[in-house]
Structure formats: C-alpha cells, structure tokens
A = this chain, B = another copy of it.
Amino acid sequence: MKTRDKILLASLELFNERGERNVTTNHIAAHLAISPGNLYYHFRNKSDIIYEIFLEYEKLVDYYLDIPRDRPLTLEDLTFYLESVFDGLWSYRFFHRDLEYLLDSDPRLRKDYREFTNRCLAAISQIFEKMSEAGIIEPQPEDLRSAMSLNVWLVITNWMAFLKTAHAADEPASLSLTELKQGIYQVLTLEIPYLTPGYREQVMALREKYRPSLPEPTGTGV
C-alpha cells in the first residue's frame, strides 16, 4: 500500500478512536513509523488529510443513497438504506464529532458538506416519496415530507453523539456498531404514525430488531 493511502487510513483510524482534536500530524506519523517530513510530502496540511477523508465518506454515502428510479421501493431497500447509512456513520464517526470546527477551518469542506447535506436530505425525502408510492406509508404533503426528512437527518447524524454522552467514561470499548444501530429504532419511531395498515406490522417487527436492550437507552447507571 502506498504511503499516501496509509496516511489516510491511519488518520481515519486515529481520528475515530481519539477524536480529531486529540490527534496531531506528529501522532499520525509516529503511528505509521514514518517521519513528519514524509507526511508533509504527501499532504500540505492536516486540513487536506481531513478533506480527502471527507471525499471518501461522501462518495460512500452517495453510493448508498442512490435511489432506483425504475422500480418501487421495498422494505428490504429501506433496511438497506438504514443499515448502510449507519455503517457509513460508524466508519467515519470522527467527522460529525468535530464538524463545526472542521467546517470553520476549511471553506472547501464547508461548501462541499453543505451540498452533501442537501443531497442527503433530498434522498431521504425521495425515499419517503417512494415509500408512499409503494404503499408503505401514507402519502404526505411536500411540506411535511421535507420537515420530516430534516428530522430524520437530525436523528441519524446525532444519534452517535448522544450515545457517547450517555455512556459513562469508564465503560470499556464504550461504543459498538450494534449500539449505534439502535439509532434505526429511533428513526423508525418517526415513521410509525404514517405506516399504512398493510405494512404496519412488518415495519414494527423490523423496528423491534433494533430496540435497545437496556430498559433506558441512556443507561442511568447510578
């Protein structure tokens, strides 16, 4: 593997583990046992590394959220979208953690991320539309659909942050992909009232699969 790619991979790994704020370029170089000079030969600065990682993330999600135009949506599609999006979120989980700071320090990233958000919102909205065409949910006015899409987006992108704050610091391996996917339970909660009688039970069963195991997802602990 090329040094350049190794740097991207190691950065992503360290960022995810410790948070971008706690990972310096020197850490990354040390982790790879290469010199800082070497790292800076491949990337102009830290922002550039982050930007390239974002491009990967963007590509991945765009790929997942490619909605078929030629056929109606199925429940399997819905499951796939949800699972995929949370997988992506997990793989690039450092990103949403320090989002504001990252966007403030890189105008390119800010612009791209804004467009990315808009694409995601449009995709979510489209999924709703096709779900109603498929008779899974009741049709909704445009208005409501876009407000709901936004709520879905808010829940998805912030579920992880919530989980982290809900955890006690000393809990080992304090966040797992399984836990993260309980976010799907939360997203499906948003859709419950709109389900058609024909699909209600199936979706509720799907939702049940992601129900948090603890009585309270926040884990009062004390």
Q: How far is the CB of A135 from chain B (nearest CB, A)?
A: 18
The reply to whether the CB of A185 lies closer than 8 angstroms to some CB of chain B is yes
Give the complex CA separation of A216 and B159 in angstroms.
23
Q: How big is chain A's contact interface, by range? A: 35 or more
| Cβ–Cβ < 8 Å partners of A218 in chain B | 114, 117-118, 121
CA distance A53 to B107 in the complex (A): 31
Tell whether A99 is near chain B: CB-to-CB under 8 Å.
yes
Q: Is the CB of A151 within 8 A of B221?
A: no
Beyond A113-B165, A150-B186, A158-B161, 4 additional pairs, beta carbon < 8 A: A100-B165, A153-B162, A154-B159, A157-B158
In the complex, A192 Cα to B151 Cα: how many Å? 13
A32 to chain B, nearest CB (A): 24
Among B104, B117, B155, contact of A154 (Cβ-Cβ < 8 Å): B155
Rank and list the top 6 A-B pairs by shortest CB-CB distance, nearest first. A193-B193, A158-B158, A147-B189, A154-B155, A154-B158, A110-B169
Chain B CB within 8 A of A217 CB: yes
Let me know if B217 and A150 touch, CB within 8 A.
yes
A222 to B114, CA, bound (A): 10
* Complex Cα spacing A193 to B117, Å: 26
Indicate if A101 sits at the interface (CB-CB under 8 A).
yes
User: Separation in Å of the A27 CB from the closest CB of chain B?
Assistant: 16
